[in-house]
Amino acid sequence: MYAIELFLDEDADARVRRVWAALDEHGVTSLGSVPASDYHPHVTLSVFECGDPAAVLGALPEVAGLPLPLESLGFFPTAEAPVFLGVVPSARLLALHHAVHRAIAPIVDHIRPFYRPDALVPHCTLAVGVTDPARALEVAARLPLPIHAFASGARLVEVPGGRLIS
């Protein structure tokens, strides 16, 4: 399975990693400390089962500088139980999301429903498999928001694990 992710600028990356560290210090396993993984702070545009990685890489747009304001805390009540920083969904971000999906639709299979156009809830994952969401939100809420993040680039990664495909 693959994901198209927007990596964050250096300052925002460091700030999200500080949130990850605080979660780890308080007994909530952050995305950054998942064993045998190489996750980076990111906002996911698409997740799909299969496709030609070279073709997908060729379809990735230039996105450096796109604002990704991280302004809220949230939790998805799903089996994966992620806690996240919510991204304010600008018109530019939503247009990019639609453009990416138009570009990859003919070359990938089984796009996950939560990432399809008109279904995206843009977010930056802090932790998954959270058994005590109130605790995770309490820890994350101690750190200052908003985080004025910007995309540093679009990347193709393998999931789970976050291994960068180049």
Tokens of 32: 């950054």
Query: What does the pLDDT read at residue 99?
Result: 96
pLDDT tens digits along 92-116: 999 999 999 999 999 999 999 989 9
Considering all CA atoms of the chain, what is the largest pairwise distance in Å, rounded to the nearest integer? 44
Between the alpha carbon of residue 156 and those of residues 53, 91, 139, 160, the distances in Å are 8, 23, 30, 12
Sign of CA dihedral 142, 143, 145, 149: negative
Domain ranges of the chain: 2-165
Q: In angstroms, rounded to a whole number, what is the distance separating the alpha carbons of residues 16 and 85? A: 9
Hey, what amino acid is at 108? V
Query: What does the pLDDT read at residue 95?
Result: 96
All residue ranges of the chain with pLDDT < 70 are none
Output the CA angle 131-125-33, nearest 5 degrees.
Answer: 70
Q: 51 in the Ramachandran plot: left (φ > 0), alpha (ψ -120 to 50) or beta?
A: left
Residue 64 contacts residue 155 (beta carbons within 8 Å): no
Query: What does the pLDDT read at residue 153?
Result: 96
Upstream peptide bond of 117 is cis (omega within 30 degrees of 0) = no
What is the DSSP secondary structure assignment for residue 17, as one 8-state letter? H
Query: What does the pLDDT read at residue 166?
Result: 77
Please tell me whether residue 99 adopts helix, strand or coil conformation: helix
Is the pTM here over 0.85, yes or no? yes
Residues 6+ apart with CB under 8 A from 103: 59, 61
Topology of domain 2-165, CATH: Cyclic Phosphodiesterase; Chain: A, (3.90.1140)
